[in-house]
Structure 1
Amino acid sequence: MQPATATTLPAEDVAVAAGFERFYETLRRLTPRGPLSLTAASTLRRLERSGPSRLSELYAPEGISQPAMTQLVTRLEKEGLAVRTSDPSDGRAVVVSITDAGRAAVAHRRAVRAAALSELLQGLTPEEHAAVVAALPALERLSDLAT
């Protein structure tokens, strides 16, 4: 089976992908500069959303190696944003949890990005704004499908 190319996919899907790429670039520009890398922030958001997780559950979804995740978690621990504890179901394993400081860091990034995005949203017509809001459930579902 040959891999899909832009010429073999529906034009609408290619347009959606291009739109998402452009919007992703916009979100990156709106993200506050700070001590957290995109991967660190994403890992903290995942821990906030999913709860305590083993390292083996964290590295693959973030697209990094297990040693890189181990280093990242070590940094997050030193910064007080995450903590490692024994897995209650298997004392030999370790789980990583987000701390209150980690939650605060995630909330701060989200608030700064939301404020910047809110300014952009004010530039939309009421119909465009409503369309963005109406698309949120489908975008959530799409994100769920990717995980």
Structure 2
Amino acid sequence: MRQTTITAEDAAIAAGFERFYELLRRLTPRSELSLTAASTLRRLERSGPHRLCELHAPEGVSQPAMTQLITRLEKEGLARRGSDPDDGRAVVVTITEAGREAVARRREGRTQALAALLEQLPVEEHAALVAALPALDHLSDLLAS
């Protein structure tokens, strides 16, 4: 494995992301969804159906914990299990319309809280955040691949 050289800028970016993550957690309204449940539903919303065995690692939980979470989401009507058309032994998880609505409510609450803060920024700093969005999306895509 190749050793990556960490620069002072890398460390500053990491610290900034950490502070921003904490900010988003504080701004996110408390809801019926845990962080892992919300993240799993967002993944299903964004990327489509996944095999159950593919969901635990990206969320940083064990496969039994993910199975329990999907069971709860299914009971709440937020996700649905089905058979994999390519392998009938495998379970595929899909987000339901109610799951999409739960994700949207959570996102809307966070957006409203963040918008109030964004209004307080100088125009140049707001523009800098907007300009950084493509790079943030690309960074996220690198981890997903």
Task: Provide the TM-score with structure 2 as the length reference.
Answer: 0.95
Query: 1 CA distance for matches of 2:102 and 2:3?
Result: 40
- Partner amino acid for 2:38? A
The aligned length equals 144
User: SS in structure 2 opposite 1:80?
Assistant: coil
Tell me what 1:95 maps to: 92
Tell me what 2:120 maps to: 123
User: SS in structure 2 opposite 1:124?
Assistant: coil
- Partner amino acid for 2:129? V
Q: Where has structure 1 moved over 2 Å in runs of 4 or more?
A: 1-4
Deviation of 1:61 (Å): 0.5
- 1:2-30 Cα offsets, whole Å, 9 max, x none, are 987xxx62111100000000000000001
Unaligned runs of 5+ in 1: none
Query: 1 CA distance for matches of 2:46 and 2:114?
Result: 22
Q: Is residue 2:140 matched to residue 1:143?
A: yes
Name the Cα RMSD after superposition: 1.5
Q: Is residue 2:111 matched to residue 1:114?
A: yes
Q: Is residue 2:71 matched to residue 1:74?
A: yes
User: SS in structure 2 opposite 1:32?
Assistant: coil
Deviation of 1:34 (Å): 1.3
Query: 1 CA distance for matches of 2:109 and 2:71?
Result: 26
Query: 1 CA distance for matches of 2:141 and 2:2?
Result: 26
Unaligned runs of 5+ in 2: none
